[in-house]
Amino acid sequence: MPRPRMRPAPPAPAAGPRADPDERAGVMSEQIAIDPDVLRAQAGKVEALAGDVAEAASAAGSVNIGGGAFGVMCAFLVPVIQPVTTATAAAIRESESLLTRTGEELRGAVSDWETVESDIAEALRTLQRPLD
């Protein structure tokens, strides 16, 4: 029985600037560039958003769904709506907490990145000294 002929694999696509991003997916970058100032600015934006959400949480907490909130005809809605408004206010407060933490974590990531980068630079300088 004759053996099937195997075709050679097609050449890999070029990974230049004109290559499709999907085709470049397997190509590793030679450098990682992180701008700490950009990350700090983003942390500030996230923290400002947390402040806006805190304002919304305060407004949500001040809503009073009492017996007369929907009038006499729709008073039956109050027991149905009350748990929903309570859960919504809690979700908004939790969103504020998560946004605040995200801002803090971004700032921590920047600090960690700068520390690691500084440590690596110092280690490379130490290795370079005997070669000079």
Give the predicted TM-score (pTM) of the model.
0.62
Residue 87 lies in a domain: yes
Lowest mean pLDDT among 13-27, 61-75, 108-122: 13-27
- Supply the range of the domain harboring residue 71: 33-131
Type and span of the H or E element at 97: helix 78-128
Higher-confidence position of 38 and 15: 38
Residue 23 covered by a domain: no
DSSP letter, residue 69: T
1 in any annotated domain: no
**Residue 96 counted as domain residue:** yes
Q: Three-class SS of residue 47? A: helix
Contacts of 9 (CB under 8 A, 6+ apart): none
Over residues 88-104, the pLDDT tens digits come to 999 999 999 999 999 99
Residue showing tokens 């700490």: 36
Total domains present in the chain = 1
Rounded to whole angstroms, the Cα distance separating 36 from 109 reads 9
Q: What angle do CA 121, 122, 125 make, to 5 degrees?
A: 90
